Amino acid sequence: MIEYRNLKVALLGAGNVGAQVASLLLEHSAELAERVGAGLELIGIAVRDLDAERTADLPRELLTTDTESLILNADIVIELLGGLEPAREYILQALNSGADVITGNKALLATHGPELFEAAEQVGAQLYYEAAVAGAIPIIRPLHDSLAGDRVRRILGIVNGTTNFILDRMHTTGATLQEALATATELGFAEADPTADIDGYDAAQKAAILASLAFHTVVPLDAVHREGITGITLEQVEAARHAGYVIKLLAICERLVDAQGNEGVSARVHPALVPQDHPLAAVHGGKNAVFIEADAAGDLMFYGAGAGGLETASAVLGDLVSAARRHVIGGPGIAESRHAILPILPMASITTRYQITLAVPDQPGVLAAIAELFLEHGVSVETLVQSVRAQQDGSTPTATLVIGTHEASEASLAATVSSLAESPVVETVSSVLRVEGL
- DSSP H helical segments within 97-222, as ranges? 106-123, 140-141, 161-173, 177-186, 195-198, 201-215
CB of 292 to a copy of itself, least distance (A): 8
| Pairing of the two strands 245-257 and 225-226 | unpaired
Q: Are 300 and 294 in contact (CB under 8 A)?
A: yes
Provide φ and ψ at 216, rounded to 5°.
Answer: 55, 40
Contact pattern from residue 191 through residue 230 relative to a copy of itself, giving x for each residue in contact according to CB under 8 A and a dash for the rest:
-------------------------x--------------
Q: Does 242 contact a copy of itself by CB under 8 A? A: no
Q: Does 35 contact a copy of itself by CB under 8 A? A: yes
Angstrom distance (rounded) from CA 372 to CA 379: 10
Task: Report the site for a copy of itself in 256-285 (rule: CB under 8 A).
Answer: 277, 279, 282, 284
Interacting span for a copy of itself (CB under 8 A) from 229-237, 293-301, 415-423, 428-436 = 293-301
Which residue, 330 or 364, has its beta carbon nearer to a copy of itself?
Answer: 330
Task: Choose, by CB under 8 A, the member of 136, 210, 272, 358 that binds a copy of itself.
Answer: 136
Angstrom distance (rounded) from CA 406 to CA 48: 55
Q: Does 60 contact a copy of itself by CB under 8 A? A: no
How would you list the strands of the sheet with 100-103, edge to edge? 63-64, 39-46, 6-12, 76-79, 100-103, 127-128
* 3-state class (DSSP) for residue 432: strand
Angstrom distance (rounded) from CA 271 to CA 231: 9
CB of 436 to a copy of itself, least distance (A): 17
Task: Choose, by CB under 8 A, the member of 15, 114, 142, 220 that binds a copy of itself.
Answer: 142
Q: Point out the catalytic residue in the list 8, 106, 206, 248.
A: 206
Interacting span for a copy of itself (CB under 8 A) from 185-193, 244-252, 314-322, 389-397 = 314-322
Which residue, 26 or 182, has its beta carbon nearer to a copy of itself?
Answer: 26
CB of 184 to a copy of itself, least distance (A): 19
Q: Does 302 contact a copy of itself by CB under 8 A? A: yes
3-state class percentages of the chain: helix first, strand second, coil last, to nearest 5: 40, 25, 35
- DSSP H helical segments within 216-283, as ranges? 234-242
Task: Choose, by CB under 8 A, the member of 8, 54, 141, 241 that binds a copy of itself.
Answer: 141
- Torsion sign over Cα 23, 26, 31, 34: positive
Nearest CA to 338 out of 155, 116, 161 is that of 116
287 catalytic residue (yes or no): no
Task: Choose, by CB under 8 A, the member of 15, 86, 114, 138 that binds a copy of itself.
Answer: 138
* 3-state class (DSSP) for residue 39: strand
Which residue, 334 or 381, has its beta carbon nearer to a copy of itself?
Answer: 334
Residues that are catalytic: 206
For a copy of itself, the binding residues (CB under 8 A) are 20, 24, 28, 31-32, 34-35, 130, 136-138, 141-142, 145-151, 216, 277, 279, 282, 284, 294-305, 308, 310-311, 313-322, 325, 329-332, 334, 337, 339-340
